[in-house]
Amino acid sequence: MPADLAVIGLGPYGLPLAQAAVAAGISTVGFATGPEAGPLSPAELRRMHTAGFRPGTDPAQLGRVRTAVICAPTPRGTDGGLDLGQVEAAARALAERLRPHTTVILESPVLPGTTERFLRPLLEEGSGLRAGRDFHLAYSPSRVDPGSRGHAPASTPKVIGGLTPACTESAAAFYGRLTDKVVRARGLREAETVQLLETNYRHVNIALVNEMAVLCHELGVDLWDVIRCAETKPFGFQAFRPGPGVGGHGVPQDLTGHATRTLRMVELAQQV
């Protein structure tokens, strides 16, 4: 029996999505794009298989799904920018088998403009179809919190931005089966920029508290007590703790690759 959903990329973003989908009763086929390591335990993987998850063995399966979500990793390349090689490979494999009315969603961490300028041409050229007319195209930033058990997909709002309003609604209908709240962005670039903002918000604030940790050490001040007291303020403050910083699976912390614009505050935070 054909699956309803194809998840392309079974790493830290794709596996949790596939897990949420099968838990919602959506038949799902998953395709690995490389030697990925997802955050699920062997027991969780067994439960997924029991619930209807199937590893993809034949690319022809991509031509029989209603929705395809690309979750391929985007590691940093030698130039400091994001390497979109695995996203490109996933897009080409999907494009050869793309059917009309399919909804294609990108969840991989990318810079604003990637879905329309990079992914869309690959899908259109490989399929002969036109995005927004023959198939739906959207972006949704992944909101997986690795290692956390407190933020289940069903209770985590999902942001969606489509190439057209109809694309947005098609993606919203899919994610509405997985989460209690769907948030519609104005378009693709707005949705892509959401992840950039969310990541850099954490990045800059962790850098700040790391500097505070150094200062408090030099002053003989208990930083943890300072944070405990400060977080009682009911407005204008959110507690962050010292740590190694923000990073991981190709998170686009800056605008490397956008030569005309940089984020100075983020560049400074990376030096801390």
Average pLDDT value for residue range 18-42: 82
Check the CA dihedral 198-203-204-210 and report its sign.
positive
State yes or no: pLDDT of 45 exceeds 90.
no
Q: What is the pLDDT of residue 162?
A: 98
User: Are residues 61 and 165 located together in one domain of the fold?
Assistant: yes
Q: How many domains does the chain have?
A: 2
Identify the domain boundary among 133, 154, 186: 186
Judgement on whether residues 66 and 167 belong to the same structural domain of the protein: yes
Strand blocks (E) in the chain:
5-8, 28-31, 53-55, 67-70, 103-106, 136-139, 158-162, 182-184
Q: 195 phi and psi, to 5 degrees?
A: -65, -40
Where a domain ends, among 186, 203, 221?
A: 186
pLDDT tier at 82 (50, 70, 90 boundaries)?
confident
Q: Does residue 197 sit in the same domain as residue 178?
A: no
Question: Which is it for the CA torsion 246, 252, 256, 259, positive or negative?
Answer: negative
- pLDDT tops 60 at residue 247: no
CATH number at residue 97: 3.40.50.720
Q: What is the mean pLDDT of residues 206-226?
A: 93
Q: Report the distance separating Cα 233 and Cα 264, nearest Å.
A: 29
Alpha helices in 131-262 (DSSP H): 165-175, 188-219, 223-230
- Same domain, yes or no, for 132 and 218? no
| Residues 173 and 208 reside in one and the same domain | no
Comparing 12 with 85, the larger pLDDT belongs to 85
Q: Strand 67-70 to strand 5-8: parallel, antiparallel, or no bridges (unpaired)?
A: parallel
Task: Note whether 121 and 39 are same-domain residues.
Answer: yes
pLDDT band, very low/low/confident/very high, at 21 (cuts 50, 70, 90): very high
Expressed as residue numbers, the domain containing 177 is: 5-186
Considering just the CA atoms, what is the radius of gyration of the chain in Å? 20
Query: How many whole angstroms separate alpha carbon 160 and alpha carbon 190?
Result: 9
Tokens, residue 119: 């992914």
31, 9 contact by CB (below 8 A): yes
Residue 147, Cβ density class (10 Å: 0-12 exposed, 13-18 middle, ≥19 buried): exposed
Alpha-carbon gap, residue 223 to 61, rounded angstroms: 54
Tokens read off for 80: 């400091």
Give the integer Cα–Cα distance in Å for 83 and 92.
Answer: 16
The angle subtended at Cα 117 by Cα 116 and Cα 121, nearest 5°, is 85
Distance CA 250, CA 232 (A): 34
Q: How far apart are CA 11 and CA 16, in angstroms?
A: 8
Per-residue tokens: 108 = 């991989």
Query: Are 210 and 158 within one domain?
Result: no
Which CATH number is 234's domain given? 1.10.1040
154 confidence band (pLDDT: 50, 70, 90): confident
Q: Write down the residue that tokens 């050490």 correspond to.
A: 217
Confidence of residue 41 (pLDDT cuts 50, 70, 90): confident
| 3-state SS, residue 159 | strand
| Greater pLDDT, 146 or 178 | 178
Q: What is the mean pLDDT of residues 205-217?
A: 91
Are 205 and 168 within one domain?
no
| pLDDT for residue 50 | 83
Q: What pLDDT, in 10s, does the model give residues 120-153?
A: 999 999 999 999 999 999 999 998 876 666 677 8
Position 78 scores a pLDDT of 81
> Alpha-carbon distance 136 to 161, whole Å?
11
